[in-house]
Amino acid sequence: MYKLILILSSLFTSQAFAEKLSLEKLVRLAYDQNPTIKSYEHQILSLTESASARSSVQSPNIGVSEMQRGTTTRYWTVSQKIEFPTKYGLRADIQVAKRKAVEKNLSQTKLNIRSKIATLYYSLYAVKQITSLTKDDLQNVKEFSRIAETKYAAGKAPMHDSMKAHFLQTQIEADLISLRQEEEALQARLRNFLNQPPSFRLKAIPTNLETPILKISKDNFKPASFTVAQKQAEYEASKLQKQLTDWDYAPDFNLKYQDRLSGEPEESRSISLEMSVPIWFWGKTSAQREAAHRTYAKKFEVDSAIQESQTKAQELYSKVKSQKELLEIMNTGLVPQAQTSYSTSLDSYKANKSSFLDLLDAERSLLKVKIAYYRMVSLYVENLTALESALGRAVSDLAI
């Protein structure tokens, strides 16, 4: 019984929590639950520690040795390898550059998730608005059917009008089923991105959700995505790696000290200093060439990322501008005009001055325009957030 109460309490709490989530909270929840983000965060911490580790000298070696020269003398020894100092700094710088690349990748991932969550949120908003419009439309058609039947009974309209109304009513009911299926699919995708249980369902979406506004013009349009920044950081790391291979010719040192443990003579100790000599130079030149080719490859990756980012951002900017203009035309022109046409047709049909088909045509046109408007809102937000992802920065008043 206690377990049942806990399960029911969890379900109700989850449901209530889901209903209260705003778009901003949904995005933050997605950040908290996303495994890719968690992976990048730990990679950043790992590379931070690695930078410190790579800039430190190795641990010394401590041992015991024995020398036979008529008498036996035992020594304790300590040796320390010291690489050429420049190498330590370069190794640390390489890890820092790699960390910057991961940080940019993390930022890009967050923008991509933000775009997907915002798109799903506005898609759910559009589906809910369209469902509400369709339900209202169903009631209108039922009223049309009643009027048509009344007129048919009075001999002022053919039976075909009533049959047409009933057929349209069935079609609208089928549309509502399709809309429910579409909403369920969107809810499932949202749960997947948020890593939530099947009981999670977003309901509390404002009915008067504002359409975000683009805040940049073509004059200050400068594509600079985090993907490009990531490739640039990787390129810097490869250049530092190339510099490190150039220092392979610099000598490394090994300092060794030994002192007597037992045996004769009593005063017996030694200090030695060894230095590496790059005799096997062909291995080092091969490492240099390998690093050089890797650096060239990273440079071309930067150029490719810049070109791809600019092309994608320009395409998305063009789409967003066009879709925003279409939304304004729909909102200020098409919808009011279709509403006026429908109201006129309804009054005219009631007064026996127009046909039933004319009324249905006006009513269908109004519904299609309103549905197209909400579909366009969803598509506009999808492209707008994708543009922000491609630019690497917010360029709208979207509150996330």
Give the start-to-end residue ranges of the domains of the chain: 2-391
pLDDT truncated to tens, each residue of the chain (400 aa)?
Answer: 444 444 444 444 444 445 567 888 999 999 998 889 999 999 999 999 988 888 888 889 999 888 887 788 888 899 999 888 899 899 999 999 999 999 999 999 999 999 999 999 999 999 999 999 999 888 888 877 777 667 666 666 566 666 777 788 888 899 999 999 999 999 999 998 888 888 888 887 888 888 888 887 776 667 678 888 899 999 999 999 999 888 888 888 999 999 888 877 778 888 998 888 877 666 668 888 888 999 999 999 999 988 888 888 889 999 999 999 999 999 889 999 999 998 888 888 778 777 777 887 888 889 999 999 999 999 999 999 999 888 888 888 886 6
Q: Is the peptide bond before 223 cis (omega within 30 degrees of 0)?
A: no
Q: What is the pLDDT of residue 284?
A: 66
Q: What is the pLDDT of residue 391?
A: 87
Q: What is the pLDDT of residue 384?
A: 93
Q: 2-391: what CATH class?
A: mainly alpha
Residue 180 contacts residue 135 (beta carbons within 8 Å):
no
The residues, ordered by sequence, that sit 6+ positions from 372 with a Cβ below 8 Å of its Cβ are 330
Q: What is the pLDDT of residue 20?
A: 63
CB atoms within 10 A of CB 3: 7
DSSP 132-184: HHHHHHHHHHHHHHHHHHHHHHTTSS-HHHHHHHHHHHHHHHHHHHHHHHHHH
Question: How many angstroms separate the first and last alpha carbons of the chain?
Answer: 42
The two structure tokens encoding residue 58 = 């190795």
Residue 190 contacts residue 148 (beta carbons within 8 Å):
no
Residue 256 contacts residue 61 (beta carbons within 8 Å):
no
Whole-Å CA distances, 122 to 57, 72, 266, 381, 399: 55, 86, 87, 7, 13
